[in-house]
Amino acid sequence: MKIQTLEWVGDGLRLLDQTLLPNDERYFVCTDVEVLANAIETLQVRGAPAIGVAAAYGVVIAAMNAGLSRRREAVAAAITRLRKTRPTAVNLFWALDRMASVADASADGELVTSLLKEAQAIEVDDFRRCEAMGRHGAALLPDEATVFTHCNAGGLATSGYGTALGVFYAAAEIGKRLRVFADETRPLLQGARLTAWELSKAGIDVTVICDNMAAAVMRQKNVDGVFVGADRIAANGDAANKIGTYGLAIIARHHNVPFYVVAPMSTVDISIPDGSGIPIELRNENEVRRGFGPNTVPESAQVFNPAFDVTPAELISGIVTEFGIARPPYSAALKKWMEAV
pLDDT in tens, the chain (341 residues): 678 999 999 889 999 999 999 999 999 999 999 999 999 999 999 999 999 999 999 999 999 999 888 999 999 999 999 999 999 999 999 999 999 999 999 999 999 999 999 999 999 999 999 999 999 999 999 999 999 999 999 999 999 999 999 999 999 999 999 999 999 999 999 999 999 999 999 999 999 999 999 999 999 999 999 999 999 999 999 999 999 999 999 999 999 999 999 999 999 999 999 999 999 999 999 999 998 888 999 999 999 999 999 999 999 999 999 999 999 999 999 999 999 87
Q: How far apart are CA 49 and CA 94, in angstroms?
A: 10
This prediction's pTM? 0.95
**Residues ≥6 apart with Cβ < 8 Å to 168:** 147, 149, 162, 178, 180, 199, 204, 227
Domains by residue range for the chain, with CATH = 6-130 (1.20.120.420), 132-340 (3.40.50.10470)
Query: Are the beta carbons of 330 and 319 closer than 8 angstroms?
Result: yes
Give tens-digit pLDDT for 103-155.
999 999 999 999 999 999 999 999 999 999 999 999 999 999 999 999 999 99
**Known catalytic membership, residue 224:** no
Q: How far apart are CA 112 and CA 238, in angstroms?
A: 38
Out of 224, 231, 238, 269, the active site residue is: 231
Helix (H, G, I), strand (E, B) or coil at 176: coil
User: What pLDDT is attached to residue 273?
Assistant: 98
Give tens-digit pLDDT for 236-282.
999 999 999 999 999 999 999 999 999 999 999 999 999 999 999 99
Query: Are the beta carbons of 305 and 282 closer than 8 angstroms?
Result: yes
